[in-house]
Amino acid sequence: MDLEVEIPIWYNGKMKWISNLTTRSTCFDVIQAILSTDEKHVSQSNEDFILYESWCGVERPLKPRCRLLKLWNSWAGESQNVTLTLRTHQQKSSSTHFLIRQQDKKLEKLKRQLKRTDKQIEKFTNVQNDNNESMLSYLNLYRSIINTQTQLEYQQKIISRLISDIENETRTDFDQDNFKKILSDVNQTLIISRELTEKSEELDQKITKTNEEIDRKQNLLDELELDYALDQRIDMDSLDDDDHDQLNFLFKQERVSTKDISPSPPLIFPQRPQAVSFRPTAIVEPSLSRSKSKFHSDQPTKSRIQIIPFPIRHYSPWSVSTNDESDTGISSFNSNDDQLVTLV
């Protein structure tokens, strides 16, 4: 009997190594050899047990007359990924490796969901809508990211629990090389899950930056509206200044024409007051722009000028007084808040 390779077979949560197999050794012979070493196996017969072959999550039962050594050699380099399990027909597969593969599938599904959310986030960042609907979509997307993150944490807890189960099962009669490989795979899965968590945090930061940009643009729009209203007020004040200058010019023309037409004074008569006429009086009121915010306090402002009639008594040109400028003057009243200028 030639010495052959050793074949690992899982039985009751423990790994059994089968050696000294020949080309004529069948699965039934292997089952009988494994059960003969089990002291607890008393009630059930050997025919109730069967060998199962699993590869990448796919499992099939092996016939009792199947040549096990020939089957094992047919896998060649892929034999490391093949798992042989001995159990009864009614017993379900409870291998921790099978559970780990199921958890890997769930992780892959979560990764695909996270990629879809990443694509949705890219679409929203390209559009950059400033309305309320885009804000609601961002909130919904943020909630989906949080849910995905919680699912990832739950899967990590399951994986850590499975790792502890593997450590308890493989304290005795377990190959150290295979154990290191399984641990490296689990560590790689944990590293990938951590990277996904970091990506989700980066997405949260992008969302907060986008919200800050929207608030900044809204504040800028409010400032522009305030500047526009201030410019309109300044234009109205400048129009009032032009009206006041035009009235002063007309008043001076009337006075010059009166001086040219008046004749030389005759005999002195008693002075008689004439009818009271009205001259424009300019009152400078405090500008409303002074009550604006500190942001607009340094900008130049104009005072509002209001033309109001002020009664001034004219005397006859025949009076003794010939000083034409005696009835005009400027008086000013200063205060802390405004300035009053009266043309007399």
Per-residue pLDDT at 90: 58
Q: Give CA–CA dist 98/269, Å, rounded.
A: 132
- CA angle, 121 then 127 then 129, to 5°: 105
Name residue, tokens 């003969």. 36
According to the model, what pLDDT value does residue 214 have? 92
- Answer yes or no: is pLDDT of 68 > 50: yes
Site of tokens 């380099």: 77
- Residue pair 130/217 in contact (Cβ under 8 Å)? The answer is yes
Torsion of CA 38, 42, 44, 48, to 10 degrees: 20
CA 118 to chain CA centroid, nearest Å: 12
In the predicted structure, residue 191 carries a pLDDT above the cut 90: yes
Degrees to nearest 5, angle at CA 7 with 3 and 8:
145
Return the bridge partners of 245, or none: none
Query: What is the spatial distance between Cα 205 and Cα 250, in angstroms, rounded to a whole number?
Result: 68
| Pairwise pLDDT comparison (145 vs 320), residue with the higher score | 145
The pLDDT, as a whole number, for residue 327 is 44
Residue type, 325: E
Cα separation, 274 vs 262, in Å, equals 15
Range 212-224 average pLDDT: 90
50: helix, strand or coil? strand
Length of the chain: 344
